[in-house]
Structure 1
Amino acid sequence: MDEDHRIAADQLRSARWFAPDDLRSFGHRSRLMQLGYAEEEFLNRPIIGILNTWSEINSCHGHFRERAQDVKRGVQMAGGFALEMPSLSVDESFTKPTSMLYRNMLAMETEEMIRSHPFDGVVLMGGCDKTTPGLVMGAITAGVPMIYLPAGPMLRGHYAGRILGSGSDAWKFWDERRAGNISDAEWLGIQGGIARSVGTCMTMGTASTMTAITDAMGLTLPGASSIPAPDSGHQRMSSECGRRIVDMVWEGLTPDRIVTDAAVRNAAIVAMATGCSTNAVVHLIAMARRAGVDLTLDDLDALGRTTPLVANVRPSGKDYLMEDFFYAGGLRALMKQMEERLDTSCLTVTGRTLGENLDGAEVYNDDVIRPLSNPVYHEGSLAVLRGNLCPDGAVIKPAACDPKFHVHEGPALVFDSYPEMKKAVDDENLDVTPDHVMVLRNAGPLGGPGMPEWGMLPLPKALVRQGHRDMLRISDARMSGTSYGACVLHVAPESFVGGPLALLRTGDMVRMDLPARRLDMLVDEDELERRRAAWVRPEPKFERGWGWMFSRHVGQADTGCDFDYLERGHGAAAGEPDIF
């Protein structure tokens, strides 16, 4: 930006905390001096908040203690003053029933920490599945200059000469374990080899999907989402984030100038081309709505019909992992392949356009990042279904399931809870065939609660031992982005609030027609009316605390599961706090 258009030091947001010669500002300056800082270090400089989702129980972010120091180094080099603050980590691996229950908590925390503290700009450190949308949603609403620092994928897994992909291979080998084909020693070896460094899942799961979306939206440094967590380039990128956010403050480059309709569309196209997680649907809609962009399921389905899948990365791809994707050129190279389909005039955190950021990007392995003429799959990663089972929509990942299920009709096998389903699938005498349609309900935003990743229902042991590895499965839950199979997810409205899934009974015929984007139960409407009249709403899951608040304000999957009072346009803008 031209020097004449840079803001002056007295226009910094932090100046309202530190500049006045009054008692309140005396206290603010005094407390920073109490921490050992001299006035020269923080007065008349951009104050940068580093919101760090590190925790000892979040292995995806195990390197963030050190990366925060790299960010601070960059901020100091650029003449800013950095203050690190802890943020809710919402780790995916250990949080029960699901970290999705706390995504909106992180979004609220992020918004309030930024609004209530003297930050001129923020660096958001995240990566594990819900940390990306949570941080970005809150920062979009807060409105100060922000840059996202993705954790990066872990190194590829290894065991006994085989390359392992986190999540995807866990599901695959678990089925073999259940079938009696894997010994205790082999199982232990796989367990120790499947995740062997810090970083997020190295498949194109939800973590890599969401950081790629944020990258494509222009909120990261170009290609930052592809850098493996242990790579020294990740340290350099972190320092560059620190340098760049200081300049963004002087330039007044706020997220509303970046997260536009066109930028959201770019992100959706790139997501489809990567073989994205089904979770991208919920999170991208929520992020877009925070920015005032009315993104719908129908918009995503339309893009899915016309966007080829070009990233040959598991689970939608067959052969490679995120480390290979990085070596092949990473997200910049993929976007360069898709350049004709993107709006390259969009502004990014670099202060340059997306097109300028893609200059010089190359594909170094065209089997990992395929040309448009030779895609992994002719359509994008996701499809949206509608019908009398899901009038408000449901989501499936066509490229990750056996094509024979793209058109399928079979009898429903319905479970009302996860424990009921889990017990049944381990019963070797369960009356089930490969043509059955397994259904799990009461697993949505309210029913789960929090819409847990239960949607990749385990195949019944009886079928696994017969050699079957896929069948049609339907739920109002989500599934891990590392999952695969003929799984229909996010059925809306969910059964817990009386959606049609609540009316389905074991033995009812269910038909999915993926080309026609239909999902229906073949039950007479008069019979459905009788069932609807007899349906009794379940008791609330919570009587206190966060769950009580969550259950009264969370939206359905088709609207992004945000809280009604956090959506853009709800009530009067909070504005800046009264600091006097």
Structure 2
Amino acid sequence: MTGKTDAPKPHGLGRNASNYGDRDFALYLRRSFAKSMGYSQAMLDKPVVGIADTGSDYNNCHRTAPELIEAVKRGVLAAGGLPLAFPTISICEPSLSPCSMHYRNLMALDTEAMLANQPMDAAVLVGGCDKTVPAQLMAAISSGTPSVMLVVGPMLAQSFAGERLSACTDCRRYWARYRAGEVSGERIKTLEGKLATTAGTCGVMGTASTMACIASTLGFMPLDAASAPAVHADRLRMAEEAGAQAVRLINKPVTPLSLMTQGNLDNAVRVLLSIGGSTNAVVHLAAIAGRAGLKLDLKRLDELSETTPVLVDLKPTGEGYMEDFHAAGGMQALLWEIRDLLDLDTLDLDGVTLRDRIGDGSHFVDRKIIRAREKPVSPVGGLVTLYGSLAPDGAILKRSAATESLFETEARCLVFDGLEDLANRVDDPELDVLATDILVLKNAGPRSPAGMPEAGYLPIPKKLARQGVKDMVRISDCRMSGTAFGTIVLHVAPEASVGGPLALAETGDRIRLSVKDRRIELLVAEDEMARRRALWSPAPAPARGWDRLVHEQVTQAPQGADLAFMLPPGR
């Protein structure tokens, strides 16, 4: 017998042939249609780099996507590949109802299907605004397609009337002052056109920039690509390099899954804590890890938080903006400062260790923005995990953006049954509320019709805001923007919509928050809780479509609020 050799695996346009029962015909038809777009046979013979295009007229953050894609194409062509861009769902927080988080998993589903089933050997993922980066990384891991992340980058801050402004911490700060009667209607209208004046994601350490820092730490893009402003020429050069790197991945494939080690996950958590990053990143990182068969353990996060200092002085935790972080040395300078806390043997897409990526310490660093270890913004990490009778499966508090005097609080609570109830009552002059009360919002978690919105930043009731109240303890099963601030307990699990203890909380109950003890307790007798539970019933399921699928499949916040059927077996 003669030995059989394995046939070479198809590449480029030969991959993922349509199924007509005749593979040769499928490829003949594909080449014929491709030639109708003017490609030569020489181009069609090249390896293919797919480029996920998230540009949209609804997405202000991504309005540079067209020029970034052109730069990616230059890099691909120069390296010997054929670039083919394709559209996917684009997500932008202000443009979606009920909220963008409700569609993160839809984007991940869409992107995975396109990565896995179109003919491409590698991909460049163009993302940036909040949920797009986690959705794309989730998709890349599940599809197995070697992928380079390319974020659009942060916007620049705007100088206005003697101060610098940038979305969206300053948006929230001024809106709170407007509600308190400190800023006029005319002034707030003028500010509306001054808070976001260039392309790019929010200019503070919000969710978009947090996820960019995490993606670069994980090795999906260069370290400086996490912070280069959207409008800088550097961003276009990074796009060109992303195209070249994708071609390198064709010649030496590195799967996204191979980057997702426990050491790399711990590195990502350390970075999240040291930058004073967004609470949203906890949910997104849990979802990304879940796709790789890993678990983001909230107790482990809390353990790492106690030994990880906050070193980056940016809003909402500090005073600076992302452009300052980039100019101060960016991720290389930050990682150098915490190198003893990191697994330095983790690899990036080019097989370079984190040890080599952060260099020898000869880089420039601006200590006004990136602090030295001995002079941190905070000696401990920005996030803590809470457990207790109100959150048996955990909750999150961003202590680096909270009021320390509220960390140990026991008080009466005022409960809002959902977003409509909140909107209808929070500014009622007759509302029975004191500055010492705890505000509670329920029925806004991942399974609720609200879709886990960024509503955890409950507004201070107007009657209190106008008395000068700036912060109160606020508790919910939803999220808050990474640009927000305050003593806010989020992601309470199990959520109210699945019958978690939060569903049974009532106005007048007492709640105890202890950051020191990591506890959040609903102080209601067990027999009373049993009585309330007997009366509770879940809301009916949505009738059809995406809402119905989410209702049936979405996991809780500690598991990343992913769709259960998209997780690997055993997860």
The alignment's TM-score, normalised by the length of structure 1, stands at: 0.94
Work out whether residues 147 and 219 of structure 1, in 8 Å CA contact, stay in contact via their aligned partners in 2: yes
Alignment-mate amino acid for residue 547 of structure 2: G
Distance of 1:328 and 1:94 partners within structure 2: 33
Distance of 2:300 and 2:157 partners within structure 1: 34
For the pair 1:395 / 2:384, whether they are aligned, the reply is no
Work out whether residues 221 and 349 of structure 1, in 8 Å CA contact, stay in contact via their aligned partners in 2: no
Q: Deviations over 1:18-41 (max 9, x none)?
A: 8x9922211121111111101101
Distance of 1:190 and 1:26 partners within structure 2: 58
SS in 1 for 2:230: coil
Q: What's the CA shift for 1:10?
A: 5.7
Alignment-mate amino acid for residue 29 of structure 1: R
For the pair 1:291 / 2:292, whether they are aligned, the reply is yes
Distance of 2:185 and 2:441 partners within structure 1: 30
Q: What's the CA shift for 1:179?
A: 2.1
Query: Which residue matches 1:32?
Result: 34
Q: What's the CA shift for 1:476?
A: 0.5
Distance of 1:399 and 1:314 partners within structure 2: 11
For the pair 1:183 / 2:151, whether they are aligned, the reply is no
Query: Which residue matches 1:404?
Result: 405
Query: Which residue matches 1:280?
Result: 281
Distance of 1:504 and 1:376 partners within structure 2: 36
Q: What's the CA shift for 1:363?
A: 4.3
Q: What's the CA shift for 1:416?
A: 0.3
Alignment-mate amino acid for residue 36 of structure 1: G
Query: Which residue matches 1:257?
Result: 258
Alignment-mate amino acid for residue 416 of structure 2: F
Q: Deviations over 1:413-463 (max 9, x none)?
A: 001011211222212332211110000000001124311111000001111
Q: What's the CA shift for 1:231?
A: 0.5
Distance of 1:135 and 1:550 partners within structure 2: 18
Distance of 2:57 and 2:570 partners within structure 1: 36
Work out whether residues 221 and 350 of structure 1, in 8 Å CA contact, stay in contact via their aligned partners in 2: no
SS in 2 for 1:223: helix
Query: Which residue matches 1:520?
Result: 521
Distance of 2:536 and 2:24 partners within structure 1: 64
Q: Structure 1 unaligned segments of length 5 or more: list them.
A: 1-7, 572-580
Work out whether residues 224 and 326 of structure 2, in 8 Å CA contact, stay in contact via their aligned partners in 1: no
SS in 2 for 1:312: coil
Distance of 2:258 and 2:231 partners within structure 1: 32
Work out whether residues 157 and 166 of structure 1, in 8 Å CA contact, stay in contact via their aligned partners in 2: no
Work out whether residues 448 and 551 of structure 2, in 8 Å CA contact, stay in contact via their aligned partners in 1: no
Query: Which residue matches 1:535?
Result: 536
Distance of 2:138 and 2:423 partners within structure 1: 35
Q: Deviations over 1:472-500 (max 9, x none)?
A: 00001111110100110100001111100
Distance of 1:174 and 1:115 partners within structure 2: 44
Alignment-mate amino acid for residue 567 of structure 2: E
Q: Identity over the aligned pairs, expressed in percent?
A: 41
Alignment-mate amino acid for residue 441 of structure 2: L
Q: Deviations over 1:194-253 (max 9, x none)?
A: 101000001111111111111111111232111000000000000000011101110012
Q: How does 1:33-432 map to 2 (within 5 A)?
A: 33-43=35-45, 45-317=46-318, 319-359=319-359, 362-432=363-433
Distance of 2:416 and 2:82 partners within structure 1: 55
Alignment-mate amino acid for residue 399 of structure 2: P
Distance of 2:215 and 2:94 partners within structure 1: 22
Distance of 1:459 and 1:260 partners within structure 2: 42
Q: What's the CA shift for 1:158?
A: 2.8
Distance of 1:48 and 1:109 partners within structure 2: 18
Query: Which residue matches 1:5?
Result: none
Work out whether residues 13 and 44 of structure 2, in 8 Å CA contact, stay in contact via their aligned partners in 1: no
Work out whether residues 564 and 570 of structure 1, in 8 Å CA contact, stay in contact via their aligned partners in 2: no
Alignment-mate amino acid for residue 15 of structure 1: G
The alignment's TM-score, normalised by the length of structure 2, stands at: 0.96
SS in 2 for 1:376: coil
Work out whether residues 406 and 512 of structure 1, in 8 Å CA contact, stay in contact via their aligned partners in 2: yes
Work out whether residues 449 and 547 of structure 2, in 8 Å CA contact, stay in contact via their aligned partners in 1: no
SS in 1 for 2:164: strand
Q: What's the CA shift for 1:9?
A: 8.2
Work out whether residues 158 and 195 of structure 2, in 8 Å CA contact, stay in contact via their aligned partners in 1: yes
Work out whether residues 165 and 314 of structure 1, in 8 Å CA contact, stay in contact via their aligned partners in 2: no
Q: What's the CA shift for 1:466?
A: 0.8
Q: Deviations over 1:288-320 (max 9, x none)?
A: 111121222112111112111111011012x10
Work out whether residues 225 and 331 of structure 1, in 8 Å CA contact, stay in contact via their aligned partners in 2: yes
Query: Which residue matches 2:3?
Result: none
Work out whether residues 16 and 117 of structure 2, in 8 Å CA contact, stay in contact via their aligned partners in 1: no
SS in 2 for 1:374: coil
Work out whether residues 17 and 25 of structure 1, in 8 Å CA contact, stay in contact via their aligned partners in 2: no
Number of residue-to-residue matches in the alignment: 562
Alignment-mate amino acid for residue 65 of structure 1: P
Alignment-mate amino acid for residue 25 of structure 1: L
Work out whether residues 60 and 198 of structure 1, in 8 Å CA contact, stay in contact via their aligned partners in 2: yes
Distance of 2:36 and 2:218 partners within structure 1: 40
Distance of 1:50 and 1:304 partners within structure 2: 36
Query: Which residue matches 1:15?
Result: 14
Q: Deviations over 1:499-557 (max 9, x none)?
A: 001111111111000011000011111211111112122222x2111111111000011
For the pair 1:564 / 2:561, whether they are aligned, the reply is no
Q: What's the CA shift for 1:17?
A: 5.6
Q: Structure 2 unaligned segments of length 5 or more: list them.
A: 1-6
The alignment yields a C-alpha RMSD, in angstroms, of 1.8
SS in 1 for 2:312: coil
Distance of 1:182 and 1:244 partners within structure 2: 49
Distance of 2:449 and 2:519 partners within structure 1: 25
The change in CA–CA distance for 1:431 and 1:38 in structure 2 (over 3 A counts) is same
The change in CA–CA distance for 1:297 and 1:183 in structure 2 (over 3 A counts) is same
